[in-house]
Amino acid sequence: MVSVEQIRKALEGVMDPEIHRSIVELNMVREIKVKGKKVDVTIALTVATCPLQGSIADDVVKAVQALDPKLEVNVTLTEMTDEEKKALTEKLQGGKQRKNFPAAQLNKIKTVVAVMSGKGGVGKSTVAALLAAGLRRKGLRVGVLDADITGPSIPLLFGVHEPPAMGAVGIMPPVSRGGVKIMSINLLLRDEGQAVIWRGPLITSAIQQFWSDVFWGDLDVLVVDMPPGTSDAALTVMQNLPVSGIILVTSPQDLAEMVVSKAADMAKQMKTPIWGIVENMSYAICPHCGERIDIFGKGKTEALAAKFNTAFLGQLPIDPEISKLGDSGEIEAYLNTAFEPTVEMVAEKASKATTASPFKFRV
Ligand code: ADP
């Protein structure tokens, strides 16, 4: 007959799939009962909504049956109490009482891409959402940090509304239908319509919290939906996040040359490359004959991209389907080959990113 101690020892080999520490070390094994060939294990999760709880339970069964394949293992999953979470938070911080969660040390984010525009309404959030959805469809692990604090629309586009759960290691971002992790100030406000009029320091601390207190886990790409424009608010975000590259969204009505030139200045200042420019709402397709109509004339973005030595990633049409799916929280269902080069380019950058180590704040 196996002993409780033998089982506990075996469970030391079971890792929390996101925190990458043993479930024994994380104090998640609350109870082990052995009665003949029957083993009952109770696991206390760091957060009840843990998306990978099924895999933890499977791993527990496997680890116990490795001792004796004839054992009948029953796993009960529950959630840690607030005291247990607090104790774990402290333990992960090396016993020190700190205000922050340990999430920042545990997150492993390979690539951070900032989606920027010259002004509001050009489709920056839509492009950020389409990029995240496209990368996710390719199987990458993706999150969206909605840094557009004063006009946060990311949760609406993805149809995500539930408030984030508080786990022992940090704030748990809700996950969209397609599997994209989402964090936005809108998820933390009681009334989503509440206008957020915040000043610089508050924006800075919200952005810092979205980075350091949110448990993103392992991500290939974190897409940051930037505040509109290339002035103060955008600069604040850039200064507070370790952005790997920028994607600029323009529309044909934009004073594109000025936007690109300002963004290029900012990019230079931050020593961050502009990976490319997407022209949104470039043309329309006639619903009757399928002909392309260049309502605003031929876009000049391609020449502009060349002038500023960056990539022209293509044009997206004005497409009623985009606003329809966006309004109904189903932006992930939008497919358009015109957007593929952008997704491909970012996926390629992510595949080449060598460091998966936690980033540090620049400031
Ligand atoms: P921004 O983030 O730049 O303020 P949004 O992404 O919120 O802009 O888009 C503004 C509005 O335009 C939204 O209602 C969105 O659905 C719509 N929109 C954006 N891009 C397109 C497009 N290519 N075709 C049709 N509607 C679009």
- What would the pLDDT profile of 210-269 be if each residue is shown by its tens digit? 888 899 999 999 999 999 988 788 888 888 889 999 999 998 877 778 888 888 888 988
Q: Is 228 a pocket residue for ligand 1 (Cβ < 6 Å)? A: yes
- What is the model's pLDDT at position 181? 96
- Are the C-beta atoms of residues 215 and 168 closer than 8 Å to each other? no
Q: Is the pLDDT of residue 272 over 80?
A: yes
Distance of CA 248 from the midpoint of ligand 1 (Å): 14
149-202 pLDDT tens trace: 878 899 999 999 988 888 888 889 999 999 999 999 888 876 666 666 666 677
Q: Is the pLDDT of residue 1 over 90?
A: no
How far is the C-alpha of 161 from the C-alpha of 176, rounded, in Å? Answer: 10
Query: How many CB atoms sit inside 10 A of residue 188's CB?
Result: 14
Q: Is the pLDDT of residue 296 over 70?
A: yes
How far is the C-alpha of 124 from the C-alpha of 300, rounded, in Å? Answer: 18
Q: Which fold has domain 103-351?
A: Rossmann fold (3.40.50)
Distance of CA 120 from the midpoint of ligand 1 (Å): 9
Distance of CA 137 from the midpoint of ligand 1 (Å): 21
The DSSP bridge pattern shows strands 72-79 and 38-45 to be parallel
Q: Which fold has domain 4-92?
A: GMP Synthetase; Chain A, domain 3 (3.30.300)
Phi/psi at 145 (5° precision): -100, 115
Question: CA dihedral defined by 329, 333, 334, 340, rounded to 10 degrees?
Answer: 130
The DSSP bridge pattern shows strands 142-146 and 218-225 to be parallel
Burial class (CB in 10 A: 0-12, 13-18, 19+), 20: exposed
pLDDT confidence bin for 103, thresholds 50/70/90: confident
Domains of the chain: which residue ranges?
A: 4-92, 103-351
* 3 state SS of 6: helix
Distance of CA 326 from the midpoint of ligand 1 (Å): 8
**Cα–Cα distance list, 319 to 250, 287, 314 (Å):** 16, 10, 15
Q: Is 209 a pocket residue for ligand 1 (Cβ < 6 Å)? A: no
Helix%, strand%, coil% for the chain, nearest 5: 35, 20, 45
pLDDT confidence bin for 298, thresholds 50/70/90: confident
- What is the model's pLDDT at position 76? 93
